[in-house]
Amino acid sequence: MGKLADYEFLTFAVTLAALWLAVEAGAWIAARLRPVKEAERGHLSQVTGAGISILALLIGFSFSAAINRYDQRKSFEQEESSAISTEYTLAGLLPDADAAQLRGLLIEFAEQRIAFYKADESSELASIRAERARIEVQMWPIAERNAKTNQTAIMGQVVAGMDKVLSRPGYSLAAALDRIPDGTWTLMALLAVFCCALIGYSGHGRHSLVLRLVLPVFVSMAFFLIASLDMQRRGVIRVEPQNLMRVLQEMQAEK
């Protein structure tokens, strides 16, 4: 289920089909193998309600976790843009040649960070990481040599700002890799199948087609939303690098 969750539309389709089959399987068992006895209906209804309640709690927990991860990715994107913008301003404290070089590299760095947030494939990410590493190798020596020749508090701010610029992408990458565990997905899927089978079993001959579809559709929609929120790439709901794009435009305009 964890790999399936990388594709939210496929997650919705497979979940809906599987849960619908579970409902029909439960109804078939009630009709052909073991009909529900009237004395059992009350207990069966309680078990079904308890199962649906536990499923709702798991879905709510997973949705909350996915929202928190999404907010965290947005926060790190904002921190990245703030660090780049601040260092671009601090670069003006360096000698003219170094300031011009560092500012040019910061513009390239911002472009690579925007590409990171918009990339969909792992091959794109590999080339983006390689280009980012090339830029970082060129930026740090500029701050380092100026700090060695001019050991002042102001130059310390330049170095500290460079440290933030270089460290923030690591936090963003870690947030993008932080996903809902496969075990949680598997548990939710199994519990959803179990609940749908119970609904079909207990409601054989009593529920219309629309009523039998209610739980499968709702659960499938919830899985779709959680999967989309939980991943940085391919998701319908994804973090757009709006702050980075704004900062890039400001730096390009100032240049």
129 assigned to some structural domain: yes
36 assigned to some structural domain: no
Q: What pLDDT is attached to residue 16?
A: 94
Tokens of 130: 């390689």
Domain interval for residue 149: 4-31+50-254
Tokens of 8: 């939210």
Distance CA 178, CA 192 (A): 24
pTM: 0.81
Let me know the angle formed at the C-alpha of 115 by 109 and 121, rounded to the nearest 5 degrees: 135
Residue with tokens 């170094």: 98
Which of the 8 DSSP states describes residue 94?
S
137 assigned to some structural domain: yes
Percentage, residues of the chain above pLDDT 70? 90
Distance CA 116, CA 35 (A): 57
Distance CA 242, CA 75 (A): 12
39 assigned to some structural domain: no
Q: Is residue 17 over pLDDT 90?
A: yes
Task: Quote the number of domains for the chain.
Answer: 1
174 assigned to some structural domain: yes
User: Cβ distance 66 to 226 under 8 Å?
Assistant: yes
Let me know the angle formed at the C-alpha of 125 by 124 and 127, rounded to the nearest 5 degrees: 70
pLDDT tens-digit series, residues 141-198: 998 888 888 888 888 898 999 999 999 988 888 888 888 888 899 999 999 999 998 8
Question: Distances from the Cα of 53 to the Cαs of 27, 96, 107, 188, 216, in angstroms?
Answer: 21, 66, 51, 12, 15
118 assigned to some structural domain: yes
Determine which of 14-23, 135-144, 199-208 has the lowest per-residue pLDDT on average: 199-208
17 assigned to some structural domain: yes
Start-to-end CA span in the chain (Å): 49
Averaged pLDDT, 60-87 = 93
Cβ burial of 141 (10 Å; 0-12, 13-18, 19+) is exposed
43 assigned to some structural domain: no
Tokens of 122: 């792992």
User: Cβ distance 214 to 40 under 8 Å?
Assistant: no
The whole-chain average pLDDT of the chain stands at 86
DSSP, residue by residue, 121-190:
SHHHHHHHHHHHHHHHHHHHHHHHHHHHH--SHHHHHHHHHHHHHHHHHHHHHHHHH----HHHHHHHHH
pLDDT tens-digit series, residues 33-46: 676 666 556 667 78
Q: How many CB atoms lie within 10 A of CB 89?
A: 13
